[in-house]
């Protein structure tokens, strides 16, 4: 990634209950974004397993969806694994409009606590 044009704290110490999810507020994708995105995340507590994905919409208040062909950003994250904290790049097919980041607890056993930052270039 080159120079960052936006860095946003999208999830701040949020708890995802077992089998549940938390979704960030909508972030406007700058018109000069070139399509390179990164998610800096940390799972800090809980015994669950986290998956992070990106949702997109053309308007701030519309229905956000994961575009066809876009995989989850990262899966299988726990507070005790080697990937509990990382920065992961992703290139969505959508580079205009609005984006939300969603964390889902996929183990259905217990909670996860996470913080995440969205970086756009």
Contact 110, 48 (CB under 8 A): yes
Tens digit of each residue's pLDDT (9 = 90 or more) over 21-75: 999 999 999 888 888 899 999 999 999 999 999 999 999 999 999 988 889 999 9
Specify the pLDDT at position 94. 73
Structure tokens given for 101: 């980041």
Query: What angle is formed at CA 69 by the lines to CA 55 and CA 112, rounded to 5 degrees?
Result: 45
Residue pointed to by tokens 């694994």: 81
Q: What is the pLDDT of residue 67?
A: 87
The whole-model pTM stands at 0.92
- pLDDT tens digits for 74-113? 999 999 988 899 999 998 887 789 999 999 999 877 999 9
Which domains, and CATH codes, for the chain? Answer: 6-120 (2.60.120.680)
How many Cβ atoms are within 10 Å of 71's Cβ, its own excluded?
A: 10
């Amino acid at each position: 990634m080159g120079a960052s044009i936006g860095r946003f704290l999208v999830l701040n110490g949020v708890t995802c209950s077992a089998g549940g999810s938390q979704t960030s507020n909508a972030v406007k994708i700058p018109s000069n974004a070139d399509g390179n995105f990164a998610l800096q995340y940390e799972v800090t507590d809980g015994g669950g397993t986290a998956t992070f994905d990106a949702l997109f919409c053309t308007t701030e208040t519309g229905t956000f969806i994961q575009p066809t062909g876009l995989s989850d950003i990262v899966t299988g994250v726990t507070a005790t694994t080697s990937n509990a904290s990382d920065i992961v790049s992703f290139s969505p097919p959508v580079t205009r409009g609005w984006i939300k980041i969603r964390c889902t607890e996929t183990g259905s056993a217990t909670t996860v606590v996470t913080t995440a930052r969205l970086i756009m270039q």
